[in-house]
Structure 1
Amino acid sequence: MFTAAGAIAKRLGRPAASAVSIRASATASDSALGQEKSSNIKEFSIYRWNPDGSSNPQQQVYKIDLNECGPMVLDALIKIKNEVDQGLTFRRSCREGICGSCAMNINGKNGLACLTKIEKDAAQTSVLPLPHMYVIKDLVVDLTNFYQQYKSVEPWLKTKTMLEAGQKEHLQSKKERLKLDGMYECILCACCTSSCPSYWWNPEKFLGPAALLHAHRWIADSRDEYTRERLEAIAGDYKVGRCHTIRNCENACPKGLSPANQIIKIKALQNTL
């Protein structure tokens, strides 16, 4: 029987392989590839605790085929919830590193699950809730205190003078606007605050890195007219003074910001009062 493989072999001066042997070789190759794809197994050790149950918190291990999963830790969590354990509870929303919902502790470091790549070379990935926060369930922590502290710095524009007739906005120059870089990008994920030792020991008193960063964001805003009042409101040992510039906050920030540097600037301004 004439085959394309036979014609090519004849042209090259080699004996033709039969169509059956070609198909068998292709089948064996496909089988080998299939086995290779199915062997890329990764373990995820995930913190589990259900307030409605009677068991203590524990680390539960799940095995995921990375060939059937996206590259980020959040992809693995979604795959586990969809296909393995629907009871697994965590927060997530934008998947673009913008909302801050999926903040958690991954392999000992705070970060966003949607921006943290799965370490393929490591045998296991550890996933825990943000440290030193009250756990609601599994990877979900209570951020009530965190948001109340953010609210306490009054993160909105405050002015004393009225706009001139016909003026609709509080204007600022490009140079003045540049002073807000490194602060306005904060997404309130709480990665920095939950990594701060001072916050661990005094969470009800110390405002924490995120709240203080936002405090300076409005202190530095050229349009705001309550600079002195804002500086006085956050003065004291258990507010801005509790920061010891350990810089865990900037190491944990997924946006590359430095709350520690903003707190240093606040302290310098308070010394001028």
Structure 2
Amino acid sequence: MSLDTPVELAADIEARARARAKEQHGKPEAGAVPSFDVTLRIRRYNPEVDSEPHWEDYRVTVYGTDRVLDALHTVKYEQDGTLTFRRSCAHGVCGSDAVRINGKNRLACKTLVKDLNPDKPITIEPIKGLPIEKDLVVDMEPFFQSYREVMPFLITKGNQPSRERLQSQEERERYDDTTKCILCAACTSSCPVFWTDGQYFGPAAIVNAHRFIFDSRDEGSDIRLEILNDKEGVWRCRTTFNCTEACPRGIEVTKAIQEVKRALLTRKA
């Protein structure tokens, strides 16, 4: 993965500075963050040379404040430059670094290594249900296709307003939770139905439909409800709560899906 963007260059500079600091300071200074060694067991796959994915172990030194993303940077910059993964903001906002860590979907940039029982190998693999492109990178197009199909934008009829569309605090709170989605796909790729049925819209698409269905300014709710009133829509949800548990933003995903179901059952014919 080339370092073409300012974010990547900054991450590279930071990683190299950390490496130099390790070489220059054999003993930690007073008040320094303690370091420890961990084993990362990473699921690797290069379609150009591998017939199927395989596991590779890497022993790295990390600090108590390090996230899994920091550990991945250490592997890439100091041990194996071929390791490929997505990341951008590194602060839990962009959602690009969702992976499976010890069998659970997490953002690599938000997961502290010290919280993962570092005495045992930490497994890192791509999220499930989407085609693997290379190593920890998956093809997100099926995910975004479902997102586009629910029309995640305001729909209004007639002329454009001459001033802003005002909402009460109660109207805004009605859909506040589902505005937090960062499209990381952690929820959708944690869903057993999505794993086995590639046609299912998935939790993230339904969450983003919910955000507009219950927006008082929107006039396209009936259209979205009809789209989701399908065997591959909300009725495929089996209420396992995997999606809610996986969401790094704390969205009550299962609750949102149930509210869309209820809206379908109570809407006027």
> TM-score by structure 2 length?
0.83
SS of residue in 2 equivalent to 1:40: strand
Equivalent of residue 58 in structure 2, options 62, 86, 98 = 62
1:206-221 alignment to 2 at 5 Å?
A: 206-221=200-215
Q: Which residue of 2 aligns with 1:97?
A: 92
- Structure 2 residue corresponding to 1:151, chosen from 148, 152, 159: 148
Structure 1 counterpart of 2:100, one-letter code: N
Amino acid at match of 1:191: A
Measured at CA, do residues 227 and 195 of structure 1 come closer, stay the same or move farther in structure 2, by a change above 3 Å?
A: same
Deviations 1:220-248 (A, max 9, x none): 00000122222112102211110111111
Name 1:183's counterpart in structure 2. Answer: 178
Q: Quick one: higher RCO (CA 8 Å, sep 6+), 1 or 2?
A: 2
Task: Indicate which of 229, 232, 240 corresponds to 1:246.
Answer: 240
CA-atom RMSD in angstroms: 2.1
Q: Are positions 1:232 and 2:226 aligned together?
A: yes
Tell me if structure 1 keeps the 8 A contact 2:39–2:118: no
- 1:130 equivalent in structure 2: 127
| Deviation, structure 1 residue 177 | 1.0
Following superposition, the deviation at residue 260 of structure 1 comes to 1.0
Give the distance between the partners of 2:263 and 2:27, measured in 1 at CA: 67
**Separation of aligned partners in 1, 2:137 and 2:26:** 42
Contact map agreement 1:176 1:221 (CA 8 A) in 2: yes
Alignment-mate amino acid for residue 260 of structure 1: T
Letter in 2 for 1:149: S
Stretch of structure 1 that moved more, 37-46 or 121-130: 37-46
Matched length: 238
Distance in 2, Cα, partners of 1:94 & 1:32: 31
Specify the SS of the correspondent of 1:264: helix
CA distance in 2, matches of 1:179, 1:134: 35
Whichever of the two has the greater Rg, that structure is 1
**In 1, Cα distance between the equivalents of 2:118 and 2:56?**
20
| 1:19-98 pair list within 5 angstroms | 40-67=36-63, 71-98=66-93
Provide the rounded CA distance (Å) in 2 between the counterparts of 1:247 and 1:31: 47
Q: 1:271 aligns with which of 262, 265, 268?
A: 265
Contact persistence 1:42–1:120 (CA under 8 A): no
Q: Unaligned 5+ residue runs, structure 2?
A: 1-24
CA–CA separation in structure 1 for the residues paired with 2:27 and 2:78: 26
Counterpart for residue 187 of structure 2: 192
* 8 Å Cα contact 2:209-2:224 kept in structure 1: yes
Between the aligned residues of both structures, percent identity stands at: 42
- Using the alignment, how far apart are the partners of 1:216 and 1:38 within structure 2? 45
* Mapped partners of 2:60, 2:47: distance in 1: 26
Q: CA deviation at 1:171?
A: 2.1
Aligned to 2:9: none
Which residue in 1 is equivalent to 2:17?
Answer: none
Contact 1:38 1:65 in 2 (8 A): no
Residue number in structure 1 paired with 2:5: none
- Find the aligned partners of 1:108 and 1:190 in 2 and give their Cα distance: 15
Of the structure 1 ranges 255-264 and 85-94, higher mean CA displacement relative to structure 2 is found in 255-264
String of CA shifts for 1:144-186, please: whole Å, max 9, x gaps. Answer: 000000000000000113245xx23222222211112110000
Q: Give the Cα separation in 2 of the matches to 1:31 and 1:154.
A: 56
1:117 aligns with 2:100: no
Q: Kindly indicate whether the alpha-carbon contact (under 8 Å) linking 1:102 and 1:112 is maintained by their aligned counterparts in 2.
A: yes
- The one-letter amino acid of 2:56's match is Q
| 1:141 equivalenced with 2:135 (yes/no) | no
Q: Report the secondary structure of 2:209's partner residue.
A: helix
- After TM superposition, what 4+ stretches of structure 1 lie above 4 angstroms from structure 2? 30-34
After superposition, give the CA deviation of every residue in 1:23-66 in whole Å (9 maximum; x if it has no partner). xxxxxxx98879xx998321100011101114532111000112
Answer yes or no: is the 8 Å Cα contact 2:65–2:112 preserved in 1. Answer: no
In the TM superposition, what whole-angstrom CA distance separates every residue of 1:110-130 from its partner, at most 9, and x where no partner exists? 010000110354321110000
Structure 1 gaps of 5+ residues are 1-29
